[in-house]
Amino acid sequence: MRVKRILILAPTLVGLFLLQSYFWVPTFEDQVKGDPGRLTRYIETSIGDASILNPTLAADSASAAINTLVFEGLIDRDLDLSFRGRLAEAWEIFEEAYLTVDETQRLPDGAPATADGLLRYLERARAAGEPALKLVRRVELLLGRSSVEQIEVTEPGPEGRKPVKRQVEVTVRQPPRIKFTLREVDQDFFTKIDRLLGGYVDRIDPSRFVKAADSIITRERAAELVPPTEHNPVVLFRLRKGILFHDGHEFDSGDVKFTYEAIMAPENLSPRVPDFEPVKAVEPLGRYAVKITYKRLFEPGFGSWTMGILPEHLLNRDALRAEAVRAGRDPKGFSLRHSQFNRSPIGSGSFQFDAWKTDQFIRLTRFDRYWEGAPNLREYLFRIIPDLLTAEVTFYAGTSDAYGAQPHQVERLRHDPRFQNFSRLGLGYTYIGYNMRRPIFQDVRVRKALGMAINVQEIIDYVLYGQAERTTGPYPKQTEFYDPTVEPLPYDPEGALTLLADAGWRRNAEGWLEKNGQPLAFTLITNSGNEVRKAVMVVAQNAWRRLGIKVETLTMEWAVFINERVDKGDFDALILGWSMGLDADLYQIFHSSQTGHFQLNFVGYANPAADALMVRIRQEYNRERQVAMARRLHRLIAVDQPYTFLFVGKGLTLLDRKLVRMVEGADGTPRYLTIVPDKLGGITFHFNEWVKTAEPVLTTN
């Protein structure tokens, strides 16, 4: 989620490089004359090569650019960012919830809470229209069972020594359970049931059902083996029939199950594990349906199924074993990560792999049997050009088809008649984070004053050439979760001094702020190689020093900055950025349980009200309620100011005007349409309709 460093060109080389480039880059017109296929070839450039062409293993943007064309997920997002079906044509989200039967209790009518008695009581209440049961489709009784299991327990060590972990054999007597099938997911369901049953749920003691001969099992540990209640959200995907992988093999539910298992297999070291760990089971229901059950409430899990699905028949255990033998490798140590598939992938996307020459190019060709119709473009070429200036010149010459303008170029290129341009606001934001473990930053008045001292608009105007917007909180501005009513901190140095005075900071004889004889002093750090952050650092340091704050600055190489300072919480204040997703879950970044070393709440933010909201947000499947809670969280974090939220950058993508969408009209003649950006400003939603014309053509919306 961290924002990567940007490459900065050496100004002294610009003139020389332009001169060299002028002589060796052919123009678009020259290319078309020599190669008519150029009209159906799209060329994209990247500063870095892909690493691995497998969506379950890749974690870099270059690989993602290829994987999204070669592979397809069960779902993706439409122009308005709503989910739509891809390999899945439809889906249903509901819940299976379980309540443990505790026969030692009594029901509200005084009857014993036997399994049959509890079931009948609930059925009568449901028939009578009890509101707590209005979402229930079905209630059924599941029989209990007994088992003997080995578990690890932690016990006190000898006096003065560390606790000891050991394996213990336990007898688990799982009582009968009531299973509720709900029409939709309801995180408050058991709160309602508890009220209906007069406190029944809170009185269940799972430790009575777990026994060990030579150890005491805590109630919390017993609850892991015999949970009093259990939320199991379910997604039932109905799959499209007749979808083919590039080798002609038909996609089905087995491929979905295999992809999940490949992610979770420890030997594959998939970076996707956190997204899929909450899954309890993936069950094919015939060839064209799959039931995915989650072991706990986790709303962001649904969006994980945008990831490309792998072909089981090419990567299953037998296939990998055979590949290992052909390569002279030991099959026991040969995993998905070692397969040549990752260099020559086969998916079910609209383009199929053709060639990869490391650090030079990756070439894809259109898949003529793609389920939604073959793309108009016949070829996609991904060129690796590490130098930004070279990438710029190749675009001007027509040897690439898109270019991301630098901030200082935007105003000029936006009005260039040769290009169509698309502006987009980034999903990430830049901020100054304060280590709230440090005493000086534990007072919100200090954090707020530091933010008020910085003229953020000046940074946007003069450092970013106007190519950014103020932001006030932790969500992307394009999403519903961002609360537009939250006002940014005003630029008010005098107001900042007043706040600091209220917090007890006074100027000494030398003009520095101090409190109880201690100066207000700290070090602001960031990574080297990022000129924007370095400029922000200078602006912040000067602004704070004018208030009387002693601020030192330090830049360091990215790996040292992250590994030694950020991950270990060894800093006072820092400048960094987040690249955010489209869901509402901020648990990893701001929850107080995530403040340890190598966790993402490295500023140490802790607010019980915010914690409670974050837990409820990631468990809420109702969009309207989730948006309302996310906006409350935004407001709360904006008040607490663990960060000074600075800005979100804008980008400008340029395309040649000869690139258009082409669809077939009702009379069979081609119609040329305008390329339309999505809600985020992305332009490739209709990529399969793109074509390049020899001359600009008139388009319609």
User: For 41-84, how does the pLDDT look when each residue is reduced to its tens digit (9 = 90+)?
Assistant: 999 999 889 999 999 999 888 999 999 999 999 999 999 999 99
Distance CA 264, CA 304 (A): 14
Is the confidence at residue 608, as pLDDT, over 70? yes
3-state DSSP assignment of residue 654: strand
pLDDT of residue 411: 87
Q: Which helix (H) or strand (E) holds 124?
A: helix 115-127
562, pLDDT greater than 50: yes
Q: Which of 578, 577, 570, 579 has the alpha carbon at shortest distance from 598?
A: 570
In the prediction, which pLDDT does 666 show?
85
Distance CA 388, CA 47 (A): 7
Q: Is it the case that residue 557 has pLDDT exceeding 80?
A: yes
State the average pLDDT over residues 71-100: 97
pLDDT given for residue 111 in this prediction: 95
Residue pLDDT, tens place only, 619-629? 999 999 999 99
| Token representation of residue 415 | 């009005």
pLDDT on residue 280: 97
Distance between CA atoms of 30 and 20, rounded to whole angstroms?
Answer: 18
pLDDT at 143: 95
Name, in order, each residue with C-beta under 8 angstroms of 145's C-beta and a sequence gap of 6 or more. Answer: 174
Mean pLDDT within 208-220 = 87
DSSP character at residue 373: -
**pLDDT in the model for residue 38:** 85
Residue 4: predicted pLDDT: 31
Q: How confident is the model at residue 1 (pLDDT cuts 50, 70, 90)?
A: very low
Residue 349 confidence (pLDDT) above 90: yes
pLDDT at 471 over 60: yes
Query: What pLDDT score does 33 carry?
Result: 52
Q: Determine which of 9-13, 256-260, 436-440 has the lowest per-residue pLDDT on average.
A: 9-13
Indicate yes or no: pTM above 0.85.
Answer: yes
pLDDT at 17 over 60: no
Domains of the chain: 11-82+319-423 (3.40.190.10), 93-234 (no CATH), 428-651 (3.10.105.10), 658-701 (no CATH)
Decide if pLDDT at 8 tops 70: no
d(CA 699, CA 672): 5
Structure confidence at residue 28 as a pLDDT band (50, 70, 90): very low
Q: Could you give the 3-state DSSP secondary structure of residue 389?
A: helix
> What pLDDT, on the 0 to 100 scale, is given for residue 151?
86
pLDDT for residue 154 is more than 90:
no
Residues 188-212 as b/e (b if ≥16 CB within 10 A, e otherwise) read ebbebbbebbeebbeebebbebbee
- Measured CA to CA, the distance from residue 392 to residue 400 in angstroms comes to 9
Question: Is the model's pLDDT at 34 over the cut of 70?
Answer: no
The pLDDT, as a whole number, for residue 19 is: 32
| High-pLDDT (> 70) share of the chain, % | 95
Q: Two tokens at 490?
A: 């005003």
Confidence of residue 461 (pLDDT cuts 50, 70, 90): very high
Q: What is the mean pLDDT of residues 514-522?
A: 95
The predicted-structure confidence for 374-406, as pLDDT tens digits, reads as follows 999 999 999 999 988 999 999 999 999 999 998
Can you tell me the mean pLDDT for 642-657? 95
Could you tell me what percent of the chain has a pLDDT over 90? 82
Task: Please say whether the beta carbons of 168 and 225 come within 8 A.
Answer: no
Residues sharing a CB contact under 8 Å with residue 342, sequence separation 6 or more, in sequence order: 52, 53, 54, 57, 336
